[in-house]
Amino acid sequence: MWKSLIFAVLLGVSAAAQPEAKPPTDQQILPLYERCLQLIEAGGVASPELGRAGVPLAENMRMALESLKFLGVRQPQLHYRFLANLRAYLLLAESVPKPVNFPAMARQQLAELRDHSLSIEAYFLALIERLENDLRQPDRDNLRRYRDANLTLGPPNPARPRVVFLGDSITDIWRLNEYFPGRDFVNRGISGQITGQMLGRFYADVIALKPAGVVILAGTNDIARGVAPETIQNNLTMMCELADAHKIKVILASILPVSDHHKDVHPAYERTKLRPLPAILEMNRWIQRFCEQRGYVHLNYYPALAGPDGQMAPNLADDGLHPNAAGYRIMAPLALAAIEKALGPAKPAGRRRRLF
């Protein structure tokens, strides 16, 4: 209800008075914004006076769109900025006198623009609702996922240092026992999680297991959901400081590259829209600097998985995001080398005494 009131007060319209529009998906919203800007440009050609008056509004919309491309679509303030300027442009189009010979095509384009504004409003409201639901969940951090497994895990064996792999789906689907046989490496990845959720379960899924080290691979979902870079950095910093306080060695991994190489298989596999490579690289530069400043081991997966174009090599991820077996075969020795750098090499198993 309050979301409708926001639009009624700030945009001067009643959300209840508008016809219902089906919200676009996250994959559809940015192309829809591109289309709106094309229609505004076309309207300026048909009505030069409208074109001149609408320049500042169109520029604000363009800046919001470019920011969304860089930061990801889960940035409600940027969607609001785009929508507010679009509605202002539509009001302007109603008030600016039309040329006598204003073409019918231009009128159709303005009508299309009005329809798009309703779809964008529906998307904005749906996005706010999704973000609210994330906060309302009684187990937002999904502590129940590993609750029973944690209770039955038992204490670590000093001869086999325990290492927890904390992360999202990239960690969750990694069968650690196959790639690291004989090691006490504990998988605590949960698909879809962002760094704030990992921080929320850091005590239960890392500290309480008393590991010697923790491998943290996180951030790709934050970027996709529009979490601010400083928030990601804050969450990673707090996880690392919790590990320090409990004498757990930190191995902090770079965010993996993504690719659009498989978008012909499925449109959702066009990954760089929600996870722009410049945003990933900027966060990885911060991770590297942070590790250097704090003395943490930096596990740099990115260059080993990226192709010449900087995207994930096409043979290493079938969906452009999650490594396949070939991808994990590259990651495993890098992870093991980083762990041994942090903890020291594993002690060889002692020989059994021969009985005579």
Per-residue pLDDT of the chain (356 residues; tens, 9 = 90+): 444 444 443 444 434 444 456 789 988 999 999 999 999 998 888 888 888 999 999 999 999 999 888 777 878 999 999 999 999 999 999 888 877 787 888 889 999 999 999 999 999 999 998 888 877 778 889 999 999 999 999 999 989 999 999 999 999 999 999 999 999 999 999 999 999 999 999 999 999 999 999 999 999 999 998 899 999 999 999 999 999 999 999 999 999 999 999 999 988 899 999 999 999 999 999 999 999 999 999 999 999 999 999 999 999 999 999 999 999 999 999 999 999 999 987 766 554 444 43
Q: Is the dihedral of CA 161, 166, 172, 174 positive or negative?
A: negative
For residues 197 and 169, the answer to whether their CB atoms sit within 8 Å is no
> Backbone phi, then psi, for 158, in 5-degree steps?
-55, -30
The SS3 call for residue 325 is: helix
For residues 288 and 254, the answer to whether their CB atoms sit within 8 Å is yes
CB burial readout 129-156, b (16+ within 10 A) else e: eeeeeeeeeeeebbbebbeeeeeeeeeb
Q: pLDDT at position 240, please?
A: 98
Q: pLDDT at position 355, please?
A: 40
Q: pLDDT at position 71, please?
A: 74
Q: pLDDT at position 21, please?
A: 60
Q: pLDDT at position 73, please?
A: 83
Q: pLDDT at position 57, please?
A: 95
Q: pLDDT at position 163, please?
A: 98
Pairing of strands 213-217, 185-189: unpaired
Q: pLDDT at position 10, please?
A: 45
Distance, in Å, from the CA atom of 334 to the CA atom of 328, rounded to the nearest integer, reads 10
Q: pLDDT at position 22, please?
A: 76
Q: pLDDT at position 263, please?
A: 92
> DSSP letter at 16?
G
CA triple 21-30-80, angle to 5 deg: 65
Distance, in Å, from the CA atom of 99 to the CA atom of 90, rounded to the nearest integer, reads 17
CB burial readout 228-243, b (16+ within 10 A) else e: eeeebbebbeebbebb
Tell me the two tokens of residue 128.
């706010």
Q: pLDDT at position 16, please?
A: 40
